[in-house]
Each structure stands twice: as C-alpha cells, then as structure tokens.
Amino acid sequence: MRLFVGDDWAQDHHDVEVMNEAGRVLAKKRLPGGVAGMAGLHELIGRQLGDDDAAEVVIGTGTDHGPWVGALVAAGYSVFAVNPLQASRYRERHGVSGAKSDSGDAHMLTDMVRTDSHQLRAVAGDSADAEGLKVVARTRKTLIWERTRQVQRLRHQLLEYFPAALEAFDDLDAPDTLELLGKAPEPARAAKLTRAQVSAALKRAGRRNITERATAVLAALRSERLGQPPAVTAAYAVTVRSLIAVITTLNHEVKTLQGQVEADFGRHPDAEIYRSQPGMGAVLGARVLGEFGDDPHRYADGKARRNYAGTSPLTRAPGKKKVVAARFICNSRLVDALNAQAFSALKASPGARALYDELRARGIEHNDALRRLANRLVGILHGCLKTRTLYDEATAWSHRQNLPQSSVAA
C-alpha cells in the first residue's frame, strides 16, 4: 500500500491532503505547526494505514529544510521538496484560471508526488554536522555582503561632503580607516589629525610603510576641497559615525564566525578531501560542503552534481535549432563559492591554469572561462568524494595530456 500526502505549509499552519494510488482523496485537514501539528499528521496518516506496517508514505512539501521536514524524514516518510517553479507549472495542469488556495496547493502537491515522484528530488539525508556548517557559513557570508552594503553607503556619504577621505583611505572597512574616521568625521577636524595619531592607527592595523602611508593620508586630508555648510557637514558626520559603528561590529562578527566555520569544518570527515582541492581553503571548503551537503547518495554521478552546482551548460534543441547556454536557475551561494575556487585555482593548479588560458585563447570571456573551469573542478571533487581519495594534480588532468588544443572542451 502507498499513501500520498501533500503538505502546503505556512508559518503557523499546514494544509494537508491524503490520497491513495488511484487518486482518490482519503482525507484533508488544516493542522497547526509544531509538535501538535506533527502529532495530528501522524494520526491522520495512521487512520488510513490501519495495521499495514509495510505501507509507504510519500509526502510532497514546498521546502527541504527546517524542523518540520526533519521530523518527517525521521518518521520514515519519503519526503520530496517541490521547487516553487515546478509547483507553479504543475498547477497549470489542473486549471488555467489562475485560482490559488492553500487547500488547492495541498491537493496539487499530493497529486504531483503520486504521478511524478520519480521526476522529483528526495530530501537529502545530510548529517547534522553538514547542516550546522551550512548555517554558520551562510551567515558569515551574509554578514560580508551586508558589510559591503554598509561600506557603499559610507562611500556615498563621504562623496557628498568629504571626498578627501576617499582619496586618503582606499579601504573603507579597514581598522585604521574606521578608527581615524571615527575620531574625525568632519573635514576640519580630520585636517588637524597629527602624524603621531595617524601613524599609531596604521601601526595598530598592521600596515606596512607607515611613514609613507601617513604622509599620503595627511596630504589628502589637508588638501583644499569644496565643502558643505557647517550644519550639513555636522549632519553627515553623525551618519558617518553610525555607519562606522555598524561596519566595526560587522568586522568583529565576521571574524568570530570565521573561527567557528573553520572549527566546524575541521571536524567534518570530508574536510581533508575538500582541503586538498586546488584553490579551496577552510572557509571556502566549508561553504561548498555546506551547499552540496554530505549525503553520499544525493548525486547519482558527477553530471548530477555539476547540474545542481549550476556550472554545467544547459542545452535547448527545439527542432533544427540548438542553443547551449549557462544555467541561471541555480544555488547562487554555491555558484559564488565555486567561482571563487576556480579563480584561486588559477595559481594553485597548473592544470586549471592551462585550461583557463586555453579557453581565453579561444575567445571565451573571463566569467564564462571561470564557469567552465569550475565545472571541471566540481567533477574532480565528485570523483574524490566517491573514491574517498585526495586531489592529485597528475590524475585530475591526465586526460588532457597529448591532446590537440582544438579538441579539448571544458
């Protein structure tokens, strides 16, 4: 016996429907979230199963993470996470009017897993360590992106009333920049900073060539520039102090989370394999591991992993027309990490450098060449994880030896 369940979730409730293999609706109900809702779902399914201990329950839901999904997997159900775009397209099979409701979506999910579960991706059985690593690594990267936004706001503010600061400080989130701008956010006060104050800030920040650097900073701060009225300058100075406080806090938290990421990554059994990959250190390895997960059965082969990574090309061949393009629907965080690895691998791996140079010589743009290189590196990573071996330069690029350049594709 097989039962199919659709679970359309919201923040505080779940609309569920139970269907048999013939497509007949057996039950439907709105359940609360949390423990009470999970108990209600088990009871609802149990009433339909009766004493059939060998029955299979297949559940379709709209998310692949969270305590609710974890509880479904732990209960032994086969859980499929349906992408919202897939759900939207499937909904049109039931009707083209555009009508939408929670109960209707639950019915759609139920019927979808009944007829198309073989086309869907089951929720991966990643370990708790991998899930925790993903949370910490993602949060660290999110704070870095947020810091970039705050730095751009700071740059805009300085451009409006204190452009000399942009000439004096080339790195607005550096400790010496934040310290000196925090002391003197007004042009007049900044011009009165002494060489000793500037040199001390540079030394605390670990700068080199302190004497030359201090001279350049003071020259820029003391140069004559057009300015704003005193009241406007004072207002901008207040906002700059606030932005500096936010950026300083973000710097501290990013550094703290980096230590946590490195510690968690070092304890994972796959860490050594990831570290052996060219251009991949602890933080980058943690990001890639977290996004790929560590379920050994999640990817059937290297092609499946590359498709999920978004690095493999997408082919459209309707009729006599054939177009090969990059994938745009993908895990953007994973793509960002893999592109960073590919760029770093240019120095760490002669084979990666040779492939990139060849692609560029063929007229392929930098970003596309990096994407193709990342695609190759994902395949290498998959092979290393499958065979539980470390990266080896000669083995990874042996297939490209003694081949004419025109016959080599990424």
Taking only the tens place, the pLDDT of each residue in 219-274 is: 999 998 888 999 999 999 999 999 999 999 999 999 999 999 999 999 999 999 99
Q: Which helix (H) or strand (E) holds 42?
A: helix 34-49
- Cα–Cα distance for residue pair 223/212, rounded to 1 Å: 17
**How far is the CA of 317 from the CAs of 227, 303, 309, 328, in angstroms?**
60, 19, 22, 17
173, two tokens: 């989130």
Tens digit of each residue's pLDDT (9 = 90 or more) over 161-182: 999 999 999 899 999 999 999 9
Listed range (7-11, 64-68, 280-284, 320-324) with the worst mean pLDDT: 320-324
Q: Which band of pLDDT confidence, cut at 50, 70 and 90, is reported for residue 54?
A: confident
Confidence of residue 403 (pLDDT cuts 50, 70, 90): very low
Contact 56, 78 (CB under 8 A): yes
Percentage, residues of the chain above pLDDT 90: 68
Contacts of residue 61, Cβ cutoff 8 Å, sequence gap at least 6? 6, 7, 8, 9, 68, 69, 72, 79, 80, 81, 82, 109
pLDDT of residue 401: 61
At 115 the three-state DSSP class reads helix
Residue 122 pLDDT > 90: no
149 pLDDT higher than 90: yes
Judged against a pLDDT cut of 70, whether residue 187 lies above it is answered with: yes
Give the mean model confidence (pLDDT) for residues 332-356.
95
The predicted pLDDT at position 1 comes to 79
The chain-wide mean pLDDT, for the chain, equals 90
| pLDDT at residue 404 is higher than 60 | no
- pLDDT for 99 equals 75
Q: What is the mean pLDDT of residues 331-354?
A: 95
Mean pLDDT in residue range 44-59:
85
Determine the average pLDDT of the residues in 20-39.
92
Cβ atoms within 10 Å of 276's Cβ, excluding its own: 15
- What is the rounded distance in angstroms from the CA atom of residue 346 to the CA atom of residue 373? 9
Q: What whole-number distance in Å separates Cα of residue 270 and Cα of residue 208?
A: 38
Encoded tokens for 352: 């990666």
In the DSSP assignment, the letter for residue 83 is: P
d(CA 368, CA 390): 27
In contact, 282 and 261? CB cutoff 8 Å: yes
Lowest mean per-residue pLDDT among 11-15, 86-90, 269-273: 86-90
Residue 397: per-residue pLDDT: 92
> What is the mean pLDDT of the segment spanning 38-57?
87
pLDDT at residue 410, rounded to an integer = 42
CA distance 348 to 281: 11
Q: What is the mean pLDDT of residues 189-212?
A: 93
